[in-house]
Amino acid sequence: MRIIVIGCGRVGSELAYRLSLRKHDVAIVAHPESICINMPADFHGRVYEGDAMDMDVLRRAGIKSCEALVAATSSDSLNLVVAQMAREYFEVPHVIARNYDPVYLELYDLFNFQNISATSWAAQRLEEMVYHGEVRTVFSAGNGEVEVYEVKITEGCEGKKIADILRLGSVAVSVTRSGHAFLPTSEWLLEAGDIVHVSATMEGIEETQKLVCPPREVK
């Protein structure tokens, strides 16, 4: 796959290196003052110095034949402009943009760009870890609006139906018992030690946690 990464900071460098390890044809476009952070010697991609909004620079990097472009700089305005150029002018099939400042996240949604906001995602994950120490996130969709959580069933939920621990905003994805995974029905009877994977919003997992892991009594 031919991929262009815009930006060579920590995120851009790490992404480009990971893609190159998977044998993709990777080109980095970075400003001359930018430095590829700790790029390993076994990186097999190409680096093009220049302004990412310069169409000639993008052409040299191969944008006319690339299959995906990721705008991963720390400038939201640059990421938005380059992503729009790639999609509308060069008709790149798959365009992804990094949101740096959450204040501008709505702009990415307005232009309908697939995006990731590392700041928002990290803040939400830290908040969840504060609230939900007994559950573990195993998958995050979008910017963390919906996640899949691993919930261990305690003795207090022994014999309950799986529907009894779910509320609006949460759906059971699977149950693992004695090392075997199953697709549960709403009538599935729980046993202590079961691992339930729940797809939920933050509000949904809060309600599930209250039922599975009730607050400890303060003595």
Please, what is the Cα angle at 16 between 15 and 19, to 5 degrees? 85
Please report whether residue 95 resides in a domain. yes
Same domain, 7 and 101: yes
Give 113-127 pLDDT, tens digit per residue: 888 887 776 776 676
Sequence-distant (≥ 6) Cβ neighbours of residue 102 within 8 angstroms = 117, 119, 120
Please report whether residue 150 resides in a domain. yes
Which of these three, 64, 81, 116, is where a domain ends?
A: 116
Please, what is the Cα angle at 194 between 209 and 185, to 5 degrees? 85
Please report whether residue 125 resides in a domain. no
Same domain, 177 and 92: no
Please report whether residue 164 resides in a domain. yes
Same domain, 15 and 96: yes
What b/e string do you get for 108-122 counting C-beta neighbours within 10 Å, with b at 16 or more? beeeebebbbeebbe
Same domain, 34 and 63: yes
- How many domains, in total, are found in the chain? 2
Grouping H, G, I as helix, E, B as strand and the rest as coil, residue 118 is: helix
Which of these three, 87, 116, 145, is where a domain ends?
A: 116
Same domain, 110 and 165: no
Same domain, 9 and 112: yes
pLDDT for the residue numbered 39: 79
Please report whether residue 121 resides in a domain. no
What b/e string do you get for 178-191 counting C-beta neighbours within 10 Å, with b at 16 or more? eeeeeebeeebebe
Please report whether residue 42 resides in a domain. yes
Question: Domain limits at 205?
Answer: 132-212
d(CA 212, CA 155): 9
Please report whether residue 81 resides in a domain. yes
Same domain, 29 and 102: yes
pLDDT in tens, the chain (219 residues): 999 999 998 899 999 999 999 999 999 999 877 767 667 888 989 999 999 999 999 999 999 999 999 999 999 999 999 999 999 999 999 999 999 998 888 898 888 888 888 777 677 667 666 665 567 788 877 767 888 888 888 888 889 999 998 888 899 999 999 889 999 998 999 998 898 999 998 888 888 888 786 654 444
Same domain, 99 and 147: no
Provide the CATH number for the domain around residue 178: 3.30.70.1450
Same domain, 110 and 28: yes
Closest residue by Cα to residue 177 from 165, 158, 159, 195: 195
Same domain, 183 and 151: yes
Closest residue by Cα to residue 116 from 136, 82, 145: 145
Give 8-47 pLDDT, tens digit per residue: 988 999 999 999 999 999 999 998 777 676 678 889 899 9
Provide the CATH number for the domain around residue 83: 3.40.50.720
Same domain, 109 and 17: yes
Please report whether residue 219 resides in a domain. no
